[in-house]
Amino acid sequence: MIEKVTIKKNHARQVAESLLKGISPERKNLIFFLHQVQNHLGYFPEEVVLLAAQYFSVSPAEIFGILTFYSAFKLNQSCAHHIKVCQGTACHVRGSEAIMKEFSRLLGIEAGDYDRQKSISLETVNCLGCCAIGPVVVVDGQYHARVNLKEIEKIVAGLTAGEKSDETCEI
């Protein structure tokens, strides 16, 4: 177990160092770098935060402030599958509340929770900015437009058919 954790830490540091090679250490590039790390690793290990703080000449507290303010950034490894259901006004009037209830029923979890064995998280978001195509559901970064109750079963079946993960789930 210790070896696995060390390998993950070394990998995260290597990824971060590789990304930094192509970015000048100006503060204006910090958020760009944070997005790159999120895209490559899916979360922010502490050592990457410390490395970034040193590289961009800012405090780790400032970076943690950014990471905790924006919901796009995760501080911990997360579930293999993420489901986000838009609850913005346009999606709400088109039935997003019923869609969320159906996801909850099929997955056996409520919004804001996760199923550790299935490695699936379920959450609501205030608005995804795609009002014209609502209701919108984002599954593992893929947008699903004009979602109806029948499609939810297909989405869930596709996610639960995969391998189960023993990784930590957080949303």
Task: Output the pLDDT for position 3.
Answer: 40
What are the tens digits of pLDDT across the range 47-95?
Answer: 899 999 999 999 999 999 998 887 778 777 667 788 999 999 999 999 9
- How far apart (Å, rounded) are the C-alpha atoms in residues 114 and 17? 32
pLDDT tier for residue 162 given thresholds of 50, 70 and 90: low
Percent pLDDT > 90 in the chain is: 49
Tell me: pLDDT of 114 over 70: yes
Predicted model pTM: 0.58
DSSP 27: G
pLDDT tier for residue 117 given thresholds of 50, 70 and 90: confident
Give residue for tokens 């006004």.
Answer: 89
- The total number of residues written for the chain in this structure: 171
Per the structure block, which two tokens stand in for 164? 């189960």
Query: Is 120 strand, coil or helix?
Result: strand
- How far apart (Å, rounded) are the C-alpha atoms in residues 16 and 8? 12
Per the structure block, which two tokens stand in for 1? 């177990």
| 137: phi then psi, degrees, rounded to nearest 5 | -125, 135
Task: Output the pLDDT for position 168.
Answer: 40
Query: Is 162 strand, coil or helix?
Result: coil
Asked if residue 99 lies in contact with residue 137, where contact means CB atoms within 8 angstroms, the answer is yes
Asked if residue 83 lies in contact with residue 122, where contact means CB atoms within 8 angstroms, the answer is yes
